[in-house]
Amino acid sequence: MKSINPFTGKVICDYKEYSSSEVEKIILKVDQAFHSWKLKSFEQRAIFMKNLQARLLVKKEELAGIITAEMGKVKLEAFGEIEKCASVCGYYAENAESFLKNEPIKTEAAESYISYQPIGTVLAVMPWNFPFWQVFRFLAPALMAGNTGVLKHASNVSGCALAIEQLISEAGFPANVFRTLLIGSKEVKAVVENPLIKAVTLTGSTLAGRSVASTAGYALKKSVLELGGSDPYLIMEDADIETAASLCVTSRLLNAGQSCIGAKRFIIADTVYDQFKAEFVRLMSEAKFGDPLDPQTAIGPLARIDLRDELHQQVEKSREMGASILLGGFIPEENTPFYPPTVLENVVPGMPAYHEELFGPVAVLFRFKTEEEAIRIANDTVFGLGAGIFTSDVGKGKSLAEKGLEAGCVFVNDFVKSDPRLPFGGVKESGYGRELSMIGIREFVNIKTIVVR
């Protein structure tokens, strides 16, 4: 399990994969830890969680450096990721008790109420693109609910995975409340099937989601999936074009375009199409890509060369089928996984750029003449994670967000971003279940009915 710096191409570390017996021993220890951890009060758990929040901020420079080295994230964005992890720790430390307090229900009984109780050890299968945040948005609510956790992280960010386990220890949590499993994808099935694992959460590809969900379903275990996205952004004719273009470019280039909720498809009113296109292409062309440690760099490398090659094949196949390339669309350096900001138009059904998720700094522009046409194009995808609408008519924007767009979250006059206070997740092939907020912490608890005569 090699960790390779995508910018330099140098091996950071070669990690030894855990054996099946080592994995089973770790899971047993984590299950044993659960039986005492679940008995701690919310106040006691919150002390550990606030310690973890503090450790993240104290070690921000070091942790951001690991992110940048392992997957190429621009350093400033890596700082922001660690800060966001700290915020979700603080959020659940402050709110978990109120989210999970007993809820009285009026019935004929003397007393009846709902009690929210932890279920045990939860397996998290996580990706490399936000190697700390994806883990912490599961970890903070799961631990505060009284569960324990094991992490199977992406192999190319094993350093991040071990750093998270170390942070938990440094924050003073009881031993084995949270552990990392250094295993490959082929070993996940056996972990899900382990009777001491009570539920599983996965963020990743649709293919990985299907595999894990089918295994969990057969084992009758709860699963939550956050999968891919091909987020549409509607640019209405009354939108502030400069603001819309700026925010759309920011969303498309964040994390070098390697984001499930990054803006990917831009559906623009015919009357403002040329104006938006000109501003959008200009801003995309000005984004500098290069050394992720350079503060002037806007876009770092993609995480791996194979990911760059796959993205370029999607662009090339679409071009061969008739798509127009307005910007980019080439491999700048053969031996490093850079891909330039790229803009396509004249994309039609049948092309990869129309149907598939473009996991990199590639944007697709569409033109619409009627509101109905805009909604049809936006929803003509197997995905349903996020979406955006830019309009000066906020009432209409809200109406389209509620009743028109098929997505788990829709932002009006802004780009989609996760927030600890708001539920996060998708519909269709973008997955099911929700993370974050009160809803997220209730995904992995026993919603228990108590009736007293």
Residues 45-58: tens digit of each pLDDT = 999 999 999 999 99
Give the Å distances, CA to CA, from 127 to 66, 149, 258, 379, 387. Answer: 15, 16, 11, 26, 22
Distance of CA 134 to the CA centre of its chain: 5
- Residue 208: what pLDDT? 97
Query: pTM surpassing 0.85?
Result: yes
CATH superfamily of this structure's domain 2-227+428-452: Aldehyde Dehydrogenase; Chain A, domain 1 (3.40.605.10)
**Beta partners for 150?**
123, 179
Beta bridge mates, 325 = 344
Q: Which distant-in-sequence residues (6+ apart) come within 8 Å of 301 by Cβ?
A: 6, 7, 72, 256, 289, 292, 308, 336, 337, 338
Overall size of the chain counted in residues? 453
Identify which of 16, 39, 382 has the alpha carbon closest to the alpha carbon of residue 230: 382
| CA–CA dist 264, 448 (Å, integer) | 41
Six token digits for residue 142: 């799961």
Extract long-range pairs of 352-355: CB within 8 Å, 24+ residues apart.
352/313, 352/314, 352/315, 352/317, 352/318, 353/314, 353/315, 353/318, 353/323, 354/318, 355/381, 355/382
pLDDT for 294: 94
CATH 3.40.309.10 domain locations along the chain: 231-412
Q: What's the pLDDT score for residue 106?
A: 97
Pairing of strands 431-432, 222-226: antiparallel
Task: Give, as one character, the DSSP assignment of residue 423.
Answer: -
Q: What is the pLDDT of residue 333?
A: 83
Range(s) within the chain of domains with CATH label 3.40.605.10: 2-227+428-452
* pLDDT at residue 334, rounded to an integer: 81
DSSP notation for 133-188: HHHHHHHHHHHHTT-EEEEE--GGGHHHHHHHHHHHHHTTPPTTSEEE----GGGH
SS3 state at 48: helix
Q: Which of 85, 89, 248, 260 is catalytic?
A: 260
Map tokens 């199977």 to a residue. 152
CA distances from 283 to 232, 243, 246, 278 (A): 19, 11, 7, 9
Say what the pLDDT of residue 425 is.
98
pLDDT in tens, 397-436: 999 999 999 999 999 999 999 999 999 999 999 999 999 9
**Residue 13 annotated as catalytic:** no
Whether 160 is a known active-site residue: answer: no
pLDDT tens for the chain, 453 residues: list them.
Answer: 899 999 999 999 999 999 999 999 999 999 999 999 999 999 999 999 999 999 999 999 999 999 999 999 999 999 999 999 999 999 999 999 999 999 999 999 999 999 999 999 999 999 999 999 999 999 999 999 999 999 999 999 999 999 999 999 999 999 999 999 999 999 999 999 999 999 999 999 999 999 999 999 999 999 999 999 999 999 999 999 999 999 999 999 999 999 999 999 999 999 999 999 999 999 999 999 899 999 999 999 999 999 999 999 999 999 999 999 999 999 998 888 999 999 999 999 999 999 999 999 999 999 999 999 999 999 999 999 999 999 999 999 999 999 999 999 999 999 999 999 999 999 999 999 999 999 999 999 999 999 999
Token digits for 216?
């969990």
- Residue 206 has a pLDDT of 95
pLDDT of residue 74: 97
Query: Cα separation of 112 and 135, whole Å?
Result: 36
Instruction: Convert 343-369 to b/e letters by CB count within 10 Å (16 or more is b).
Output: bbbbbeeebbbbbbbbbbbbbbbbbbe
The catalytically annotated residue of 77, 81, 226, 406 is 226
Q: Which residues pair with 149 in a beta bridge?
A: 122, 178
Give the C-alpha separation, 126 to 108, whole Å.
46
Q: Which fold has domain 231-412?
A: Aldehyde Dehydrogenase; Chain A, domain 2 (3.40.309)
